[in-house]
Structure 1
Amino acid sequence: MTDQAWGPHLRFCPELPVDAMTAGADAAVVSTHKLISGLTQSSVLMARGERINHARLDTMVGLTQSTSPQALVYASIDAARQQMAVHGARLWRGAAELAEWARAEIRALPGLRCLGTEVLSQGGVAEFDPTRLTVSACDLGVSGYRLETLLRDDYRIAVEAADSLNVVLNVTFGDRREDLELLVGSLRDLAARHGDAAGKTGSACSSLLARTPRFTRQVLSPREAVFAPTVARPITECAGEVSAEMVTPYPPGIPVLGPGEEISPEIVTYLREAGGAGLKVHGPEDRTLATLRVVA
């Protein structure tokens, strides 16, 4: 089973990476509201083959699905599918060409990096989506989080995601050449403003946030932890305690802590740094990460 939420476009253009179902997955989820033209919240679960009980899968979906589905969402899925089936290859070739132009321009700017096909030489990397622009200004001493803020506040450009090192921008068939020219011009101005820091990589770019902490020990079941008596404690006092909540930084959207897990010193250090950097987190009661709720 594959989470292909950010890959609804892959099936429709041969220049893009292979999609999960073509690669042999038994099931995959794609979000038609991401990158193609479905309305917000629209998505599709695809399944095939003998290893999945389709009748049981249908029952499980029914347990969580509304009994009053929104017809407009269904219609948008069908319209998006038709648009991709008829025009997808042409539309996404155009998007890929725009992205490659922007990538070359960004890579020519002093102090900026933009991920390209060189990543294919890394172990574990099979393909590269040319429509994604992964930009780093760490050589200017600007972390990914700071770069996101600067682009939003100073240039009115919203990125898709940011982490300690990079920002990610999606180029789609809805973008025009002038949109990419605006991005490149903004990054050129930003590089000039921070040029004095070139080569002085900021601590935020080499910090613990550049990697996630190791998995920790499961002490209680998630159910036991969630329904147990709990108390909110300063995060500095939480090492060795048992978490009563989920903590999921986004990106990458992978929990570093779940209910019932022991809070390690490494996780405490990571979350303290995350809170200080303003990292976006899902799950905890205190989104600033000043405190964590633990089993009493």
Structure 2
Amino acid sequence: MDPLRVTVGVYDLGVSGYEADDFIYMDQRVVSELSGSRFVTLPFSPGTCKEHVNRLILAFKHLSSSSFIQHNTKNNGRAGVDLEPWSDIKMKLTPREAFFAKKKKVDIKDAIGKICGELICPFSPGFPILSLGEVISDRVIDTLQQSIVDGAKVIGSFDPLLSSILICDV
């Protein structure tokens, strides 16, 4: 635990951490350190004063009572991505075997059931969602696409927009 950082969960508000981060910046010019699909992390330094804390609190009060959330929840209609531990991950090749395997690019919708040929990480948080050698499931594709909708940037992928993906041609 780092006593100089506060992580605020926003999932129950019906917005992503990326959306909350944008809102608190626009509302009170509060700058976060990191945002994710369900949270915003804010740094507190020796230079943080009471005014800064009050602006942060005010920004979250405005966020939780704003029409932004009502609009987002009604129009977005998403129930969120299921982020429970994944028991359905299947590795077909070792990461080393997949790294050296011949690869081909396929449309994202045609990748389900194939073996992933790249390491794909939505940032933030920057943890791999799809690894070399893993069988690509519809669940992981849905999670990656929702991450992009929520404002995450995809790193490690040949195609950062994820319209296509590299698979192992084995």
- TM-score range for the pair, normalised by the shorter chain length: 0.7 to 0.9
Q: Which runs of 5 or more structure 1 residues have no equivalent in the other structure?
A: 1-6, 10-15, 17-34, 36-130
State the TM-score, normalizing by the size of structure 1: 0.48
Report what 2:41 is aligned to. 168
How do residues 255-294 of structure 1 correspond to structure 2 at under 5 angstroms? 255-294=128-167
Provide the rounded CA distance (Å) in 2 between the counterparts of 1:165 and 1:149: 13
CA shift for structure 1 position 152: 3.1
Query: Per-residue displacement from partner, 1:68-118 (whole Å, max 9, x unpaired)?
Result: xxxxxxxxxxxxxxxxxxxxxxxxxxxxxxxxxxxxxxxxxxxxxxxxxxx
CA shift for structure 1 position 272: 2.4
C-alpha contact (below 8 Å) 1:213/1:270 kept by paired residues? no
C-alpha contact (below 8 Å) 1:215/1:256 kept by paired residues? no
Query: Per-residue displacement from partner, 1:166-198 (whole Å, max 9, x unpaired)?
Result: 322232333111111221233333445327829
SS at match of 1:208: coil
C-alpha contact (below 8 Å) 2:20/2:63 kept by paired residues? no
How do residues 1-296 of structure 1 correspond to structure 2 at under 5 angstroms? 131-136=5-10, 138-139=12-13, 141-194=14-67, 197=70, 203-204=77-78, 206-208=79-81, 210-211=83-84, 213-214=86-87, 216-296=89-169
C-alpha contact (below 8 Å) 2:37/2:147 kept by paired residues? no
Q: CA RMSD in A?
A: 3.0
Q: Which runs of 5 or more structure 2 residues have no equivalent in the other structure?
A: none
One-letter amino acid matched to 1:172: S
One-letter amino acid matched to 1:238: A
State the TM-score, normalizing by the size of structure 2: 0.77
CA shift for structure 1 position 274: 2.2
Provide the rounded CA distance (Å) in 2 between the counterparts of 1:256 and 1:196: 27
Q: Which has the higher contact order (CA 8 A, sep 6+)?
A: 2
Mean CA deviation greater in 243-252 or 185-194: 185-194
Query: Per-residue displacement from partner, 1:191-217 (whole Å, max 9, x unpaired)?
Result: 45327829x68644x312544644522
Provide the rounded CA distance (Å) in 2 between the counterparts of 1:223 and 1:135: 37
User: How many residues matched?
Assistant: 167
